[in-house]
Chains A and B, each alone.
Chain A
Amino acid sequence: MSAPSLGTVWRASLRRELTLIWRSPADIVQPLFFFVVVVSLFPLALSPKPALLALVAPGAVWVAALLAVMLSLDGLFRRDQESGALDLLLTAPVVSVVPVAAKLLAHWLLTGLPLALIAPLLGYMLQLPVAVLDTLMVSVLLGTPTLTVVGAIGAALTVGLNRGGILLAVLVLPLYVPVLVFGAGVVRTALDGLPTGGLLAVLGAILALAVSLGPVAVALGLRISAGD
Chain B
Amino acid sequence: MWKTIKRWYHQLGSPRYFYRFCEAVLPWLVPVSLALLAVGLVWGLVYAPVERYQGDSYRIIYIHVPASSGALMGYIAMGVAGLVALVWRMKMAEVMLKALAPFGAVLAAVSLLTGALWGKPTWGTYWQWDARMTSMLILLFLYLGIMALQNAIRDPRQAARAAALLAVVGVINVVIVKYSVEWLNTLHQGATLKVVGESSIDASMKWPLLISMAGLWLLYAANVLMRARTEVLSRERRSGWVRRLVRGGEA
- A residues whose Cβ falls under 8 Å from a Cβ of B: 150, 153-154, 157-158, 161, 163, 167, 170-171, 173-175, 177-178, 181-182, 185, 206, 209, 213, 217, 220-221, 224-225, 227
Q: Which of B142, B152, B177 contacts A161 (CB 8 A)?
A: B152
> B176 to chain A: which residues have CB within 8 Å?
178, 206
Q: Which of B86, B149, B161 contacts A167 (CB 8 A)?
A: B149
Q: Please determine whether A221 and B162 come into contact, CB atoms closer than 8 angstroms.
A: yes
Q: Please determine whether B173 and A178 come into contact, CB atoms closer than 8 angstroms.
A: yes
Q: Please determine whether B180 and A227 come into contact, CB atoms closer than 8 angstroms.
A: no
- Show 12 residue pairs from A and B whose CB-CB distance is below 8 angstroms, ordered by the A residue: A158-B152, A171-B148, A173-B141, A175-B142, A177-B138, A177-B180, A178-B177, A185-B183, A217-B165, A221-B162, A225-B158, A225-B162
Q: Which residue of B lies closest to A180 (CB)?
A: B180
Q: Which residue of A lies closest to B89 (CB)?
A: A228
> B203 to chain A: which residues have CB within 8 Å?
none
Say whether B153 faces chain A, with CB atoms less than 8 Å apart: yes
- Main SS at interface, chain B: helix
Which of A163, A167, A170, A173: most chain B CB closer than 10 A? Answer: A170
Q: Please determine whether A174 and B184 come into contact, CB atoms closer than 8 angstroms.
A: no
Say whether B181 faces chain A, with CB atoms less than 8 Å apart: yes
Q: Which of A175, A217, A227 contacts B158 (CB 8 A)?
A: A227
- Main SS at interface, chain A: helix
- Taking CB atoms and an 8 Å cut-off, the chain B residues in 135-153 that contact chain A are 138, 141-142, 144-145, 148-149, 152-153
With A and B bound together, what is the CA distance between A161 and B155 in angstroms? 12
> A173 to chain B: which residues have CB within 8 Å?
141
Q: Which 10 A-B pairs have the closest CB atoms?
A: A174-B141, A181-B180, A178-B180, A178-B176, A171-B145, A224-B161, A157-B162, A175-B173, A170-B148, A177-B177
Q: Please determine whether A185 and B184 come into contact, CB atoms closer than 8 angstroms.
A: yes
With A and B bound together, what is the CA distance between A217 and B184 in angstroms? 28
For B159-175 the 0/1 string (1 means CB < 8 A from A) is 00110011011101100
Q: Please determine whether B183 and A181 come into contact, CB atoms closer than 8 angstroms.
A: yes
> B170 to chain A: which residues have CB within 8 Å?
174-175
Q: Please determine whether A220 and B86 come into contact, CB atoms closer than 8 angstroms.
A: yes
With A and B bound together, what is the CA distance between A224 and B89 in angstroms? 12
Shortest CB–CB separation between residue B182 and chain A, in angstroms? 10
> A181 to chain B: which residues have CB within 8 Å?
180-181, 183-184
Q: Please determine whether B173 and A174 come into contact, CB atoms closer than 8 angstroms.
A: yes
With A and B bound together, what is the CA distance between A209 and B169 in angstroms? 11
The answer to whether A170 and B165 touch (CB under 8 A), given A177-B138, A181-B183, is no
Shortest CB–CB separation between residue A67 and chain B, in angstroms? 16
With A and B bound together, what is the CA distance between A175 and B176 in angstroms? 10
> A150 to chain B: which residues have CB within 8 Å?
169
> B155 to chain A: which residues have CB within 8 Å?
227
Q: Which of A163, A206, A217, A224 contacts B152 (CB 8 A)?
A: A163
Q: Which of B138, B145, B161, B168 contacts A170 (CB 8 A)?
A: B145
With A and B bound together, what is the CA distance between A133 and B165 in angstroms? 37
With A and B bound together, what is the CA distance between A209 and B141 in angstroms? 22
Q: Please determine whether A153 and B180 come into contact, CB atoms closer than 8 angstroms.
A: no
Q: Please determine whether A167 and B152 come into contact, CB atoms closer than 8 angstroms.
A: yes
Q: Which residue of A lies closest to B154 (CB)?
A: A161
Q: Which residue of A lies closest to B160 (CB)?
A: A224
**Can you add 16 more A-B contacts, CB < 8 Å, to A157-B165, A181-B184?**
A154-B166, A161-B152, A163-B152, A170-B144, A173-B141, A175-B169, A177-B173, A177-B181, A178-B173, A178-B176, A178-B177, A182-B180, A213-B172, A217-B169, A220-B86, A220-B165
- Taking CB atoms and an 8 Å cut-off, the chain B residues in 100-155 that contact chain A are 138, 141-142, 144-145, 148-149, 152-153, 155
With A and B bound together, what is the CA distance between A53 and B177 in angstroms? 27
> B161 to chain A: which residues have CB within 8 Å?
224
Q: Which residue of A lies closest to B135 (CB)?
A: A177
Q: Please determine whether A174 and B138 come into contact, CB atoms closer than 8 angstroms.
A: yes
> B148 to chain A: which residues have CB within 8 Å?
167, 170-171
With A and B bound together, what is the CA distance between A161 and B149 in angstroms? 10
> B86 to chain A: which residues have CB within 8 Å?
220
